[in-house]
Copies of this chain bind each other. A is one copy, B any other.
Amino acid sequence: MKLSVIDSVEQARQKLMKYAESIRLTTEKIPFEDSMDRIAAENVFSIYDIPAFNRSAVDGFAVISKDTAAVSESLPSMLTQTGDIRIGEHVDFCINSGECAYVPTGGMLPKNADAVVMVEYSESFGGDGIALYKPAAFGENVVFAGEDIRSGGLLIKKGKKIRASEIGALAAAGLKEVSVYKPLRLTIISTGDELTKPGEQLSAGRVYDINTYTLKALAEKNGFKVVNTALLPDDRDLLEQTVRNALLGSDIVTISGGSSRGKADYTGEVLEKISSPGVFTWGIAVKPGKPTIFAYDKPSETLLAGLPGHPVSAMIVFEAFICDFWRKLTGCENPRLIPARLTVNVPSSPGKHTFCPVRLFV
Which A residues contact B (CB, under 8 angstroms)? 32-33, 36-37, 48, 51-53, 55, 59, 86-91, 104-108, 163-165, 167-168, 170-176, 192-196, 198-200, 202-210, 212-218, 220-221, 234, 260-264, 309, 311-312, 315, 336-339, 357, 360-362
How many copies of this chain does the complex contain?
2
| Given A88-B206, A198-B174: A315 and B105 interface contact (C-beta under 8 Å) | no
Could you list 29 A-B pairs, sorted by A, with CB under 8 Å?
A: A32-B198, A33-B213, A33-B216, A36-B220, A53-B204, A55-B207, A59-B261, A87-B192, A87-B194, A87-B264, A88-B194, A88-B195, A90-B203, A91-B204, A104-B262, A104-B264, A105-B309, A106-B207, A165-B315, A167-B213, A168-B311, A171-B208, A171-B210, A171-B212, A174-B198, A174-B199, A174-B202, A176-B198, A336-B362
Q: Cβ of A174: which chain B residues have Cβ within 8 Å of it? A: 196, 198-200, 202, 208
Quick one: closest B residue to A169, CB to CB? B210
A148 to B33, CA, bound (A): 43
16 A-B pairs besides A87-B194, A337-B362, A338-B360 with CB distance below 8 A are A33-B217, A48-B202, A51-B207, A59-B261, A88-B194, A89-B205, A90-B204, A106-B207, A107-B194, A168-B214, A171-B212, A173-B208, A174-B202, A175-B198, A175-B199, A336-B360
A220 to B171, CA, bound (A): 17
Overall SS of chain A's interface: loop
Contact partner of A193 (CB less than 8 A), chosen from B87, B264, B338, is B87
Q: How far is the CB of A80 from chain B (nearest CB, A)?
A: 20
Quick one: closest B residue to A162, CB to CB? B217
Q: Cβ of A195: which chain B residues have Cβ within 8 Å of it? A: 88
Quick one: closest B residue to A173, CB to CB? B208
Q: Which of A36, A106, A234 has the most C-beta atoms of chain B within 10 angstroms of its own C-beta?
A: A106
| Given A87-B192, A213-B168, A337-B362: A207 and B52 interface contact (C-beta under 8 Å) | yes
Q: Cβ of A315: which chain B residues have Cβ within 8 Å of it? A: 164-165, 168
| Given A205-B107, A315-B164: A172 and B210 interface contact (C-beta under 8 Å) | yes
